[in-house]
Amino acid sequence: MKRKDLLGIQELERNEILEILDTAETLQEISSRPIKKVPTLRGKTVINLFFEASTRTRTSFEIAGKRLSADVINITASSSSVSKGETLIDTAKTLDAMAADCVVIRHNSSGAPHTIARMTRARVVNGGDGAHEHPTQALLDALTIRQRKGRLDGLKVAIVGDIAHSRVARSNAHLLTKFESHVWLCSAPTLMPVGGEDLVACNKEFLHRTHSMEEALNGADVIMMLRVQFERMDESFFPSIREYFRYYGLTTERVARAKPDAIIMHPGPLNRGVEIATDVADGPYSVILDQVAAGVAVRMAILFLMLGGQSS
Amino acid sequence: MTLKLSYQLMNADEVRGTLDRLADQIVTANSGRQVVLLGIQRRGVPMAQRMAEHIGAKSGHQPPIGLLDINLYRDDLTKVATQPVVRRTEIPPDIDDKDVILVDDVLYTGRTIGAALRALIDFGRTRTIQLAVFVDRGHREIPVEANFIGKKIATKDNEVVEVRLEEIDGEDAIFVMEKT
């Protein structure tokens, strides 16, 4: 990997994305071995610096690092000096002085990983920053799609839910439109970003917006449901959960509008009965657990490409 | 750095004849045992495939083959100039108590085989591990020797042995090149 840090999908070229996905595909085999470990990153230190709650991203990075024999250290904001008032930059400099090789950071402010990346010699991976980007999620989604659909181009992908607060939607929109798949962003008017300036850089010809779930789902190859992010809502964006589910919940009847071989994705954690019905989440079209498995492989690939060997 | 042809070591017929002979030697040395051929990426893979087919055609029983990529086990990963492309590894499910034949094109410093041994040990405890190579060109840096050798030659440090196989390179031949 030529760049020092992985901060977002927006700035990545297609061949950089494919390099990560191809590497992830070859590394997937390690997770099915009786001894799920290779010595590749022995002696490298990866620090997970998480200022926001996370189960799967943090665990996934931890497992990925450990399967490659890196030493992985988890720091959560509540148990660190951050709770004593240390600034982000001081925390980063401290970790750098301890000779960390890679810092994975999640923060509720957009751009926090970029600030840290400028201050450290360690390579920085964005594990999700505010409502901005979540590049490793988009990459694992892309791997799941490519393995199920055989390609990333020419697909219709419906991304439904809380678009306004979703870094997953942004990163996925960037990635999939780069490969010339049509992305339909669908949400209630109150949950659609007003200006959407940050999405302008997307390949606009391939980006569509709608408030009608039916329009988004018609003939879709991929249905990506987003979690309603109650923790980011300081006001009421819709009258009730029942009403939200009635208009934007994914039910078996609605899935029928998509292609017969459509796949259903969700970045997790699920709000069952809010954005997705339980029988759909656990149903045959759901690839939600494949996404989790792909997440470990993609993060192994990123750590390997960043820390294993020098790029020329 | 450019490569200049020194001489051709084998033509297509010699390449195929040598592979058949190696396969026969493996069968003779391991009669009555369960042999697994493990090709080291990349050119060891078509070599293992062809040897398995030769053994199958002669004996009616084709031994299982596997592929092994050693890049994740290299001890010089942080020093190599260009990042290696990691290719597929596929080991047959149960190699415990089998006789595993590692197959590679050129035996040089021995470090590739060193990495392959480290990798293989993670997959189980085989009865034996043996090594079959097309060309042994000397200059060992660790104590590794092959059990089955297609051709042993003396080379200079600035020479490169280039094994070319139909499946990857479109022809069967072996050349010795000189770095200039």
Q: What percent of chain A has pLDDT over 90?
A: 76
Q: Is A40 on the interface with B (CB under 8 A)?
A: yes
In the sheet that holds A102-107, the strands lie side by side as A71-76, A45-50, A102-107, A123-129
Helix (H) / strand (E) containing A215: helix A213-217
> Closest by alpha carbon to A138, among A108, A188, A84, A179?
A179
Q: How high is the pLDDT of residue A73?
A: 94
For residue B160, give the nearest of B180, B140, B131 by alpha carbon: B180
Amino acid at position A110, single letter: S
Whether the CB of B82 is below 8 Å from some CB of chain A: the reply is yes
**Which chain B residues have a beta carbon less than 8 Å from that of A34?**
123-124
Q: How far B18 CA lies from chain A's nearest CA (Å)?
A: 32
If you average pLDDT over residues A295-309, what whole number do you get?
A: 94
CB contact (8 A) between residue B83 and residue A312: yes
Query: What pLDDT, on the 0 to 100 scale, is given for residue A173?
Result: 95
Which B residues in the span 41-80 are in contact with A, Cβ-Cβ below 8 Å? 69, 72-73, 77-80
Q: Count how many Cα atoms sit within 13 Å of the Cα of residue B21 in the half-sphere of its side chain.
A: 12
Residue with tokens 């979690």: A227
Chain A interface includes B95 (CB < 8 A): no
- Predicted local distance difference test score (pLDDT) of residue A16: 96
pLDDT for B26-78, tens place per residue? 999 999 999 999 999 999 999 999 999 999 999 999 999 999 999 999 877 76
**Optimal mutation site among A1, A3, A26, A304, interface B, most CBs of chain B within 10 A:** A26
Per-residue pLDDT at A78: 75
A42 an active-site residue? no
- Short-list B74, B69, B119, CA closest to B90: B69
> A2: which 2 tokens?
């030529």
Greatest Cα pair distance in chain B: 49
- Distances from the Cα of A2 to the Cαs of A5, A128, B81, in angstroms? 9, 21, 13
Distance from CA of residue B117 to its chain's centroid? 13
Q: Say yes or no to pLDDT of B180 above 70.
A: yes
ipTM of this complex: 0.79
What is the per-residue pLDDT across B73-132, written as a single tens digit (0 to 9) for each?
987 776 666 778 888 899 988 899 999 999 999 999 999 999 999 999 889 899 999 999
Q: How confident is the model at residue A222 (pLDDT cuts 50, 70, 90)?
A: very high
- What DSSP state is assigned to residue A69? T
**Tokens found for residue B23:** 């396969």
| A71-128 pLDDT per residue, tens | 999 998 777 777 777 888 888 888 899 999 999 999 999 999 999 999 999 999 999 9
Average pLDDT, chain A: 92
**According to the model, what pLDDT value does residue B83 have?**
75
Residue A89 contacts B, CB cutoff 8 Å = no
Cα A242 from chain centroid (whole Å): 27
Q: Where residue A234 falls among pLDDT bands split at 50, 70, 90?
A: low
A118 has a chain B CB within 8 A of its CB: no
Cross-chain Cβ contact A308/B78 below 8 Å: yes
Residue A311, pLDDT score = 47
Is residue A10 very low, low, confident or very high in pLDDT (cuts 50, 70, 90)?
A: very high
Residue A197 has pLDDT above 60, yes or no: no
Strand B128-136 relative to strand B159-164: parallel, antiparallel, unpaired? unpaired
CB A226 within 8 A of CB A162: yes
Where residue A196 falls among pLDDT bands split at 50, 70, 90? low
Q: In the predicted model, is pLDDT for residue A205 greater than 60?
A: yes
> What is the pLDDT, as a whole number, of residue A274?
92
pLDDT tens figures, A132-180: 999 999 999 999 999 999 999 999 999 999 998 899 999 999 999 999 9
